[in-house]
Amino acid sequence: MNSAGDSRAATRARTGDFVQALTGVQSRLYAYICSLLGEAASSRDVLQDTNLALWDKAQDYDPARPFLPWAYRVAYIQVLAYRKRCTRSRLLFDEQLVSELAQEVLGRDDDLDQRLEALSDCINKLTGSRREIIDHRYLQGESVDRIAERLQKAPNVVAASLYRIRKTLLECIEAKIATG
């Protein structure tokens, strides 16, 4: 393949990686924008503006760095731009509050990543029927009644088991986070 072909292949691969990163953070970006604006309809509009801005800035993104913090920064700028366009509305948060909310969300995002990693470790420690129940309920989305039917147990027994398993997982997560 010639250098032009190599260049096009590299560009396609980089674009694919960027699209995958962008689509992978949509729900988190939307939640972040909602937390800053406090209103769902305008948050959807700002998310679209953010996606367009991210796409326009795709060449500026350094793939060696984490995507989400960069995307949050672009979203923050889009929120400020939206607020500027809507300065006549008295329902908007003031800029200081938006800045504080942005910092709070960023802090919680780090906590969420830690919790998700701890959850994964804790789930991997489950064995036997406990793991089977969790997998059927949350990976396969089966109802408690369907799981009970599969295990030949009463639905209230399966529901109680799920409660105990979730409680055990929560304790495991909290212990992992406490120990770092």
Rounded CA gap, 77 and 75, in Å?
Answer: 5
Model confidence pLDDT, tens digit, residues 99-117: 777 777 666 666 677 777 8
Rounded CA gap, 77 and 53, in Å?
Answer: 10
Higher pLDDT, 16 or 25: 25
Domains of the chain: 1-92 (1.10.1740.10), 94-180 (1.10.10.10)
Closest listed residue to residue 179, CA positions, set 134, 130, 109, 122: 122
Model confidence pLDDT, tens digit, residues 124-156: 898 888 988 988 888 778 888 999 998 999 999
| Torsion sign (Cα): 98, 99, 104, 110 | positive
Does residue 50 surpass a pLDDT of 70?
yes
Rounded CA gap, 79 and 43, in Å?
Answer: 8
**Which residues fall within 8 angstroms of residue 81, CB to CB, at 6 or more apart?**
49
